[in-house]
């Protein structure tokens, strides 16, 4: 995708108290609030935590349970897929209205705006079509 193109898809990055409780990790949960919205302008987007060796497209640096290269989002232009990149804690996917999953994904899994991607100690990601006002993200 060219930078001049309007953003057609976004990722909502949420702090998820239910995911944090299910993980039982030692880190204190930050205050949940409104999501951070990130425009998905590339065909492949890396999710992870920044380090001296690089910065992922979606930087979840505040969640210490996220690996440097946690997972990737890949599109074919119509659909989005998530794939774990060998992370330490796994990548989980479930419908937004379903219970918290207990088994990480393996391979590439298609996701829609009805799904949530759960990573790290508290991070929930929802991929959805961009609203008109988000077209410049």
Residue-wise pLDDT for 67-113, tens only, equals 999 999 999 999 999 999 999 999 999 999 999 999 999 999 999 99
Q: What is the pLDDT of residues 20-30, one digit of tens each?
A: 999 987 889 99
- pTM, 2 dp: 0.93
Domain-embedded: residue 1: no
Q: What is the pLDDT of residues 35-56, one digit of tens each?
A: 999 999 999 999 999 988 889 9
Domain-embedded: residue 3: no
Domain-embedded: residue 102: yes
CATH code (residue 103): 2.60.200.20
Domain count, the chain: 1
DSSP 105: -
Q: Give the structural domain span for 115.
A: 9-131
Domain-embedded: residue 117: yes
The DSSP-derived string for 64-93 is: TTS-TT-EEEEE-SS-EEEEE-S-SS--EE
Domain-embedded: residue 61: yes
Q: Check if the beta carbon of residue 84 is closer than 8 Å to that of residue 105.
A: yes
Alpha-carbon distance 135 to 130, whole Å?
6
Domain-embedded: residue 2: no
* Nearest Cα residue to 67 out of 78, 51, 83: 51
Residue 3 has pLDDT above 70, yes or no: no
Domain-embedded: residue 137: no
Rounded average pLDDT over 2-27? 86
């Amino acid at each position: 995708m060219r930078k001049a193109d309007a953003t057609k898809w976004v990722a909502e990055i949420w702090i998820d108290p239910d995911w944090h409780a299910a993980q039982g990790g030692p880190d204190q949960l930050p205050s949940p609030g409104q999501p951070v919205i990130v425009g998905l302008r590339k065909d492949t987007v890396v999710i992870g935590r920044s380090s001296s060796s690089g910065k992922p497209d979606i930087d979840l640096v505040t969640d210490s349970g996220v690996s440097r290269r946690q997972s990737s989002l890949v599109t074919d232009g119509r659909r989005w897929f998530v794939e774990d990149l060998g992370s330490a804690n796994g990548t989980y996917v479930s419908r937004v209205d379903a219970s918290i999953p207990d088994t990480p994904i393996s391979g590439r899994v298609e996701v829609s705006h009805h799904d949530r991607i759960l990573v790290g100690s508290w991070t929930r990601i929802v991929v959805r079509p961009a609203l008109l006002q988000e077209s410049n993200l």
